[in-house]
């Protein structure tokens, strides 16, 4: 999940730097599926056990135990622990557990996220999945943070040691195939790691456009995402702004696609770290 968060942060940084003349909100949806039949069967079996009446009964007992006055006082003194327990229990019970048995990735990955940008900063609000929360990118400070409002914490992410930069070289093939996304003409680009022979390597199909006012695709080529932002080193090399991205691997596939682009003034306060939050390790 950390790798996915870093990947999403890299994509968001790329769009942020290309959107310095654009202020507003961009909404995305996300879908995912398991491609490996054996892995899918294994995960479905685990989810089915989780959704069983026996397990649900145990979860209800755990919830009842949380009402104990001593436990309540402990959680009052530790809101981070309270938020973590509540989030775990919510993910393990009810309709979500049943639907996850059909598609286990549904409970793990986001269903949508909202991207807000102003100047050199952006805020991504992730809905659903284990990565639910917010990602604040401050391109003017070369910093990206994951914000957890339930736990009232923030954590710096997306930067690796300068001594160990990524060495992955990507082969980008710009095709002649086009498609309309939200009325914008997009061109398909196929991306693959040029030196990888691993059966678990990821390949990408990215649909990019140069037609959105205020989003400058030329700025993408100035980005050096590979120096510390895992999984999306190629984003800065794309000739266009991505509106749809498909990620393919032997085990799973997922798709991110823009569903709405809404220009408009946003408050600068939304792009600052909350003053009363603490930094998590």
Exposure class string for 35-52: b at 16+ Cβ within 10 A, else e: eeeeebeebbeebbebbe
> Are 154 and 179 in contact, with CB atoms under 8 Å apart?
no
Instruction: Compute the average pLDDT of residues 35-62.
Output: 75
Does residue 224 carry a pLDDT above 50?
A: no
**Averaging pLDDT over each range in 70-84, 111-125, 211-225, which range is the top one?**
111-125
Phi/psi-derived region of residue 142, left when phi > 0, alpha when psi is between -120 and 50, beta in every other case: left
> If DSSP codes are grouped into helix, strand and coil, which group holds residue 235?
helix
In a domain, 140, yes or no: yes
In a domain, 90, yes or no: no
> Are 249 and 201 in contact, with CB atoms under 8 Å apart?
yes
In a domain, 57, yes or no: no
Does residue 20 carry a pLDDT above 80?
A: no
Does residue 225 carry a pLDDT above 50?
A: no
pLDDT at 227: 38
Copy the structure tokens of residue 90. Answer: 């919510």
Angle at 10 between CA 9 and CA 11, to 5 degrees: 90
In a domain, 67, yes or no: no
Task: List the one residue out of 227, 234, 162, 185 whose CA is nearest residue 11.
Answer: 234
Handedness of CA 171, 22, 122, 129 (dihedral sign): negative
In a domain, 103, yes or no: no
What's the domain range around 14? Answer: 2-36+112-272
**Averaging pLDDT over each range in 49-53, 97-101, 176-180, which range is the top one?**
176-180
Domain count, the chain: 1
For residues 144 and 181, which has the higher predicted lDDT (pLDDT)? 181
- Helix H, strand E, coil C: the string for 84-110 is HHHHHHHHCCHHHHHHHHHCHHHHCCC
In a domain, 160, yes or no: yes
Copy the structure tokens of residue 39. Answer: 């892995």
pLDDT at 82: 72
In a domain, 263, yes or no: yes
For residues 132 and 98, which has the higher predicted lDDT (pLDDT)? 132
pLDDT at 7: 61
Quote the DSSP letter at residue 220: G
> Are 14 and 232 in contact, with CB atoms under 8 Å apart?
yes
Residue 141 sits in a domain whose CATH number is 2.50.20
Task: List the one residue out of 6, 47, 19, 11 whose CA is nearest residue 257.
Answer: 11
DSSP letters of 158-176? S---TTS-----EEEEEEE
CA distance 212 to 203: 26
> Are 198 and 276 in contact, with CB atoms under 8 Å apart?
no
pLDDT at 199: 60
CA distance 44 to 49: 9
How many C-beta neighbours within 10 Å does residue 120 have?
16
Task: List the one residue out of 191, 170, 185 whose CA is nearest residue 245.
Answer: 191
Does residue 97 carry a pLDDT above 70?
A: no
In a domain, 106, yes or no: no
Phi/psi-derived region of residue 278, left when phi > 0, alpha when psi is between -120 and 50, beta in every other case: beta
Does residue 31 carry a pLDDT above 50?
A: yes
pLDDT at 160: 46
Does residue 71 carry a pLDDT above 90?
A: no
pLDDT at 198: 62
pLDDT at 88: 66
């Amino acid at each position: 999940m950390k790798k996915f968060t870093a990947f999403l942060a890299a994509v968001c940084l790329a769009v942020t730097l290309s959107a310095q003349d654009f202020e507003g909100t961009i909404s995305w949806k996300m879908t995912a599926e398991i491609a490996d039949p054996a892995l899918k069967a294994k995960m479905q079996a685990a989810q089915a056990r989780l959704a069983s009446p026996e397990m649900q009964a145990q979860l209800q007992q755990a919830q009842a135990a949380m009402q104990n006055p001593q436990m309540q006082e402990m959680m009052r003194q530790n809101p981070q622990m309270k938020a973590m327990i509540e989030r775990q229990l919510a993910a393990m019970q009810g309709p979500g557990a049943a639907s996850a048995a059909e598609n286990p990735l549904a409970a793990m990955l986001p269903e949508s996220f909202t991207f807000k940008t102003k100047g050199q900063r952006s805020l991504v609000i992730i809905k659903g999945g284990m990565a639910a929360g917010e990602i604040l990118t401050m391109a003017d400070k070369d910093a990206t943070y994951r914000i957890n409002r339930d736990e009232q914490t923030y954590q710096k992410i997306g930067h690796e040691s300068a001594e160990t930069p990524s060495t992955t070289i990507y082969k980008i093939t710009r095709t002649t195939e086009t498609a309309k996304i939200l009325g914008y003409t997009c061109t398909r680009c196929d991306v693959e790691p040029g030196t990888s022979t691993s059966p678990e390597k990821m390949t990408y199909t990215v649909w990019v456009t140069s037609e959105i006012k205020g989003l400058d695709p030329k700025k993408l080529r100035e980005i050096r995402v590979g120096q510390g932002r895992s999984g999306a080193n190629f984003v800065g090399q794309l000739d266009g702004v991505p509106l749809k991205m498909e990620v393919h691997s032997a085990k799973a596939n997922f798709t991110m696609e823009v569903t709405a682009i809404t220009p408009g003034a946003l408050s600068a306060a939304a792009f600052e770290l909350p003053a009363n939050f603490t930094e998590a390790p």
